[in-house]
Structures are given as structure tokens and as C-alpha cells.
């Protein structure tokens, strides 16, 4: 609106200067029309903005959020869809005949585990190993449970156990832990 008094002053000046002609009046009127249209458009935008912003209530922002939430349905893959081909599998065999070994003889193990990144063997007598294929001998006869625990790249642990009989070297049999 401040431009309208300025154009009015220009008209007064041209009129008093006697240089007022039709062409100049037309240009000035065109400027006035553009000013009026622009003023109306600016007022429309201002009112539209106020309408948009005032339609949001404080309850929309009570939890401190500045954006809305979108409820989406998630497709959870079934177990059949998950690639488990690189998960760890644990298995070992005792290769000594009939799962028996003499005291001081080598325990023969085959590690059939797959995709393991670490191993923990427990020989059932407080002796342990972290080798993939340990070499081990029992010093004392008796019944023992060998347990292998593996960890895979997903930090999953799996374990398996097998029993072994350690035979007394002198008596040739398992006669207890005397």
C-alpha cells in the first residue's frame, strides 16, 4: 500500500509539470493495477498461511514431537526366508575305537563343525582348549564327557557333548577313580 501514495505523488508532479500525456497516464494506471493485484495476492497468501498454521493445535505437539508418525505394517520374514547357510553348526566325533582310550594315549577327535569363529573344548576334568582340533591325553582313567562349544559370526553359541571311557593302563579296564 505504500506504493500507491508514491504513484499518486508522481501523477501530481506530472500534472503540474504539464507533461502529462495519455501514454504516461496509462503506464501509471497499469502500475496501480499491478500493485493492487499484488497486494491482494499477498493478503491472500498471508491469510492462507495463518489458516494452515492455526489449524494445528497444541495437542498435536504435546509429546514434544515435531513430526507426525506413520503407522506401517511390517513384513516380518519367516524362518524359511532367512538365509541361515552361514550360521554355525557344531559336531565332532571321537575316533578312538568304541569311544575308549587308554590312559596316556592320544585322544583322536575330528571337528565337523561349520562356520565357527571360536571353539571351546571341555574334556570333562577341568581341562579345556580353544584350538579347532586339539590334541589331548587323559592322565587318569574314568568316564568323561567331552563338550565342544562353538561361536559363529552372529555371536550365536552351540554345543554338543559325547562320552568317552578312559581305560586304566595297568588293569586294562575302567575300575573307577580310586
CB neighbours of residue 154 within 10 Å: 11
Give the range among 77-91, 135-149, 156-170 with minimum mean pLDDT. 77-91
pLDDT above 60 (res 111): yes
- The most confident of the ranges 23-32, 49-58, 159-168 is 159-168
Mean pLDDT across the stretch 165-170? Answer: 90
Question: 178 near 157, Cβ under 8 Å?
Answer: no
Domain ranges (residues) in the chain: 3-56, 87-167
Mean pLDDT across the stretch 76-101? Answer: 82
Q: Is the Cα torsion angle 38, 42, 48, 49 positive or negative in sign?
A: positive
User: What percentage of the chain has pLDDT greater than the value 70?
Assistant: 49
pTM above 0.75, yes or no: no
Q: Specify the fold of 87-167.
A: Immunoglobulin-like (2.60.40)
More confident residue, 152 or 4: 152
pLDDT above 70 (res 72): no
15-44 pLDDT per residue, tens: 555 555 555 665 666 676 667 666 776 666
Which H or E run includes 167? Answer: strand 157-167
113-147 pLDDT per residue, tens: 999 999 999 999 999 999 999 999 999 999 999 99
Look up residue 41 and give its three cell numbers: 495476492
Question: 90 near 160, Cβ under 8 Å?
Answer: yes
Burial letters 65-86, b for 16+ CB under 10 A, else e: eeeeeeeeeeeeeeeeeeeeee
CB neighbours of residue 136 within 10 Å: 16
Banded pLDDT at 170 (limits 50, 70, 90): confident
Q: Which pairing describes strands 100-102 and 157-167: parallel, antiparallel, or unpaired?
A: parallel
Can you give the pLDDT at residue 114? Answer: 96
Amino acid at each position: 500500500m505504500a506504493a500507491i501514495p508514491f504513484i499518486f505523488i508522481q501523477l501530481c508532479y506530472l500534472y503540474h509539470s504539464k507533461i502529462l500525456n495519455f501514454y504516461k497516464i496509462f503506464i501509471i494506471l497499469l502500475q496501480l493495477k499491478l500493485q493492487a493485484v499484488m497486494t491482494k495476492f499477498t493478503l491472500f497468501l498471508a491469510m492462507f498461511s495463518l489458516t494452515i498454521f492455526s489449524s494445528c493445535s497444541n495437542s498435536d505437539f504435546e509429546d514434544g514431537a515435531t513430526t507426525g508418525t506413520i503407522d506401517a505394517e511390517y513384513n516380518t520374514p519367516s524362518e524359511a526366508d532367512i538365509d541361515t547357510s552361514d550360521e554355525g553348526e557344531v559336531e565332532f566325533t571321537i575316533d578312538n575305537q568304541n569311544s575308549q582310550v587308554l590312559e596316556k594315549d592320544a585322544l583322536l577327535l575330528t571337528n565337523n563343525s561349520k562356520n565357527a569363529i571360536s571353539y571351546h573344548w571341555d574334556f570333562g576334568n577341568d581341562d579345556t582348549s580353544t584350538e579347532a582340533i586339539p590334541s589331548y591325553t587323559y592322565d587318569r582313567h574314568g568316564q568323561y564327557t567331552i563338550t565342544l562349544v562353538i561361536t559363529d559370526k552372529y555371536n550365536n553359541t552351540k554345543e554338543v557333548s559325547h562320552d568317552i571311557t578312559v581305560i586304566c593302563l595297568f588293569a586294562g579296564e575302567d575300575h573307577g577313580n580310586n
